[in-house]
Amino acid sequence: MDQLEAYVRGLYRKPQLRQLFLELTLQCNERCFHCGSSCTPQRPEDLLSLEEYKAILDQVKEDFDLGRLQLCITGGEPLLRPDFFEILGYAHELGYHWGMTSNATLITPEVAHRLAEVGMDTISVSIDGLPETHDMLRGTPGGYERAMRGIQALIDEKVFKAVQVTTVVNHENIGELDALFAIMDKLDIDSWRVINLEPIGRALQWPSRMLTEEDYLRLFSFIRDKRLQGYPVEYGCSHYLGPAWERELRSWYWMCNAGIYTASIMANGDIGACLDIERRPETIQGNIRQSRFKDVWDNRFELFRRDLCEGSSFCAGCEHAGHCRGDAHHSWDYDKNEPLLCFKKLLF
């Protein structure tokens, strides 16, 4: 972790773009209570057009090494965009490696085959509980069954590098972890990503669903135990877990990739870091309609290329500041200048 601390400080000076997120739409056919983007449809004239996306893809290919870059497609539900396959087919022709986040309810065997044809490498699909719980949390009757059919269609295609399932755990569905594991264990998926409900977006309207300290310890112990048994269960890149838990829940040490490895172009052309970060003037770095992406990447993002804990009274004097660096940008309170979630005293 000491070596990583020095490495991250080097990235502050010389960032390396490794993941570029394209938010194709904020339209969604589900209404998840935990949605970090609070997805709502936008006016058509606000959305980037097919030709604008092609120009962006041309531009990024010219300015960056595609061999070191992953294109990450998201929304909303990206498959709701009518020209989805035209955009990604063009990306495939240019040589991009790309993956997608989806609720999978629109993925039929035919759609899975088309995704293979336009070069999709990886996909992460959301399953947030057993059927009744999943449908309730995502506001979609029948959503669980459609999503599971979509996952099976992806598996049956037999060409994707990774089919992952992501589960967001909250106080109401944490009791279903063992039952969900039994289901995931029977699926031929490549990994199961189990993460906690974050205090952002729509989830702020449901304080009763936030995890308790007991819930967090139960969640982390569950992931650790499954990993020790050799199962591909992981926590993800959400938070700093302290020296006793780092590498227990995932295969890497903590770092927030926002603005040093990761950038995003939003559906309206705004340029930012991680798409889960609160959208406010200081976190928006420009707009692709007015600026070349590389110019913004090279000359902006100052907010993300320093330790969040610098100048924070909450973090002052913390002996873990060098490793934590203020934790994650997506869960930082920019008004109070402190983290919304900190595992100090709970885990370390």
pLDDT tens digits, residue range 261-270? 999 999 999 9
Taking the C-alpha atoms of residue 92 and residue 105, their distance in angstroms, rounded to an integer, is: 23
Output the pLDDT for position 42. Answer: 63
Residues of the chain with pLDDT under 70: 36-45
Is the Cα dihedral 272, 277, 278, 283 positive or negative? negative
Tokens of 131: 């059927």
Taking the C-alpha atoms of residue 306 and residue 11, their distance in angstroms, rounded to an integer, is: 10
Tokens of 37: 């983007």
Which of 86, 80, 83, 90 is CA-nearest to residue 57? 90
For tokens 């819930």, what's the residue?
A: 215
Which of 250, 241, 261 is CA-nearest to residue 324? 241
pLDDT in tens, 58-67: 999 999 999 9
DSSP letters for 157-197: H---SEEEEEEEE-TTTGGGHHHHHHHHHHS--SEEEEEEP
Output the pLDDT for position 36. Answer: 64
Beta strands in the chain (DSSP E): 19-23, 70-74, 97-102, 120-126, 162-169, 191-196, 233-234, 262-265, 270-272, 286-287, 332-333, 338-339
Round to the nearest angstrom and report the end-to-end CA distance of the chain. 15
Taking the C-alpha atoms of residue 27 and residue 108, their distance in angstroms, rounded to an integer, is: 19
CA distances from 274 to 44, 284, 322 (A): 23, 11, 21
* DSSP structural state of residue 104: -
Helices (H), 44-168: 50-63, 84-94, 109-117, 131-137, 143-157
Taking the C-alpha atoms of residue 104 and residue 164, their distance in angstroms, rounded to an integer, is: 11
Output the pLDDT for position 201. Answer: 83
Output the pLDDT for position 273. Answer: 98
pTM for this entry: 0.95
Output the pLDDT for position 34. Answer: 80
Output the pLDDT for position 279. Answer: 95
Which of 86, 80, 65 is CA-nearest to residue 20? 65
